[in-house]
Amino acid sequence: MRITIIGTGYVGLVTGVCFAEMGNKVNCVDKDSAKIKELNNGIIPIFEPGLKAMVNESYQKGVLAFTTSLQEAINESDIVFIAVGTPQDEDGSADLTHVINVAKEIGKEMNHPLIVVDKSTVPVGTAEKVRESIQTELNSRKENIDFDVVSNPEFLKEGSAIKDFMQPDRVVIGSENENSTNVLKALYRPFTINRERFIQMDIKSAEMTKYAANAFLATKISFMNEMSNICERVGADANMVRMGIGSDNRIGYKFIYPGCGYGGSCFPKDIKALEKTAKDFGYTANILGAVEKVNAEQKKLIVRKITNKFSEDLSGKCFAVWGLSFKPGTNDMREAPSIVIIKELIEKGAKIQVYDPKAMKEAEEHYFKNEPKISYCENKYKAIDGADALILITEWKEFRSPDFTRISALLNQSVIFDGRNQYDKLMLKKYGYEYYQIGVK
């Protein structure tokens, strides 16, 4: 099939390359000419395992192209995916400016029937707004061209997005047009051929499904963090509690790890947007508000443990930080706990020596620009050298089994603050460490 993807961010790029992998002809469009130039030169703006190799291979085969010309792209396509950003607005709602602007441009440029697909995470009712925007532009041109708008929310996890797209748990399509449904079912058939994963529903339900899924996962995280805080106070071990409740197949083990909070481009933004949507329709989403509140406090927990150990004034102290990205497998630092933790430590007078396998450039150029109290280190052991304690924030694989004897020799004090409960406390006790976890007294 002939496909246009509008937006070459995380979702757009992964979607485009995976469709191209199956032999479709894909044009990826972005108004950022510098980004398009880089993509045409094989430079990928985001880190995602396997993405660079797939992009370059499909590009060389001629099934994947990058352009700034929307007119050129959609005139060669039958399906157009909108995959632009929906940043959080000041009132917490999703800002649909980019989505609506794209819809208007489609209406201005289309010259043949199209299926327009909302791939961006958007509030309930957005498809109607996209349809109205396209139709208004067609009316102004006095053109009568058939088109349809459907919803196809993405369920990609950063760090495993290629696998998630190629082997999806489900493909949700919100459509009230039988032809559009059948076209998208055929488009996704290579990804669902082993087992039926195609779920067709009305458009509003599809738009709601994405928000409901992210809200539920965020709720599991905040619930477990709430339990871990209670565990710490009553003398229970949150790690043991996790295993006890996770063995119940109604609950499961995923998303119930105690930690220093969630981040990323989806959960924080989508929780606020869904809460705002509920408010707009006269409903107060109490659970969503609590989830958000617990998460905000959880990001500060490690700092409280550090000040309890040392003091509120951390002047003259140096801390090694392992991990900057909001999760392993990505360089994405949006809403990452590391931002809150590092800023609070610096405000209290501390210096930071940090290492992350992928996100240090992101940190230095965007989140801690020109910050003299942060040193970026070439490996995890360089970050520890001369520090007063190690703080683990992101659970990258290379942090799972470090040389604890070497760490102890490099640190000024054998102290570890573990924001992801990665290590065995009994083993560290044998090494002579002071070891602070989440949810363990």
Q: What are the tens digits of pLDDT across the range 233-251?
A: 999 999 999 999 999 999 9
Catalytically annotated residue among 18, 231, 260, 266: 266
Per DSSP, what are the bridge partners of residue 116? 80, 149
CB 440, CB 238: distance < 8 Å: yes
Element (H or E) spanning 3, and its range?
strand 2-6
CA–CA distance, 108 with 291 (Å, rounded to integer): 42
- Helix, strand or coil for residue 205? helix
- Residues 265-305 pLDDT 10s: 999 999 999 999 999 999 999 999 999 999 999 999 999 99
What per-residue confidence (pLDDT) applies to 194? 78
For residue 199, count other CB atoms closer than 10 A to its CB: 13
Q: Which amino acid is at 23?
A: G
Sign of CA dihedral 286, 292, 295, 299: negative
Distance of CA 97 to the CA centre of its chain: 21
pLDDT class for 91, splitting at 50, 70, 90? confident
Residue 314 contacts residue 350 (beta carbons within 8 Å): yes
Annotated active-site residue 266? The verdict is yes
Nearest alpha-carbon partner for 206 in 149, 282, 266: 149
Indicate whether 195 pLDDT > 80. no
State which amino acid sits at residue 254: K
How big is the chain, counted in residues? 441
Q: Residues 386-398: what's their mean pLDDT? A: 98
372: which 2 tokens? 């003299």
